[in-house]
Amino acid sequence: MSKSIMRQAQELQAKLAKAQEELSNTTLEVNSGGGAVKVTINGQQEIKSIKISPEVIDPDDVQFLEDLVLTAVNEALAKSQELAAERLGGLTGGLKIPGLM
């Protein structure tokens, strides 16, 4: 490899590392059930917290609460993945790099 290509690869690696660090420090909040369930996730698809409003805890209707949690988690993951693709996609020129996104 030429020195120019090596330097470009090192610069890209540094930019990707910085972008990944920024993603880990970026949090998103997603609600379902009108705010009954709140999921906080970072830009690296790590769920940081799940908050459940006591009003939706009904022992006779566990399925409803499960659905609210599932909806919020799936939406949070989707938004986090979109954010990562947006931030990292520009750096990689649209290439899918395993382990990155």
CA 11/CA 14 separation, integer angstroms:
5
Residue, of 34 and 20, whose pLDDT is higher: 34
Span 33-74, pLDDT tens digits? 999 999 999 988 899 999 999 999 999 999 999 999 999 999
pLDDT at 1: 59
How many structural domains comprise the chain?
1
Span 70-93, pLDDT tens digits? 999 999 999 999 988 888 877 766
pLDDT at 17: 83
pLDDT at 77: 95
Give buried/exposed letters for 45-61 (b at 16+ CB in 10 A, else e): beeeeeebeeebeeeee
pLDDT at 95: 55
pLDDT at 101: 46
Domain range for residue 62?
3-92
CATH, residue 75:
3.30.1310.10
Residue, of 24 and 78, whose pLDDT is higher: 78
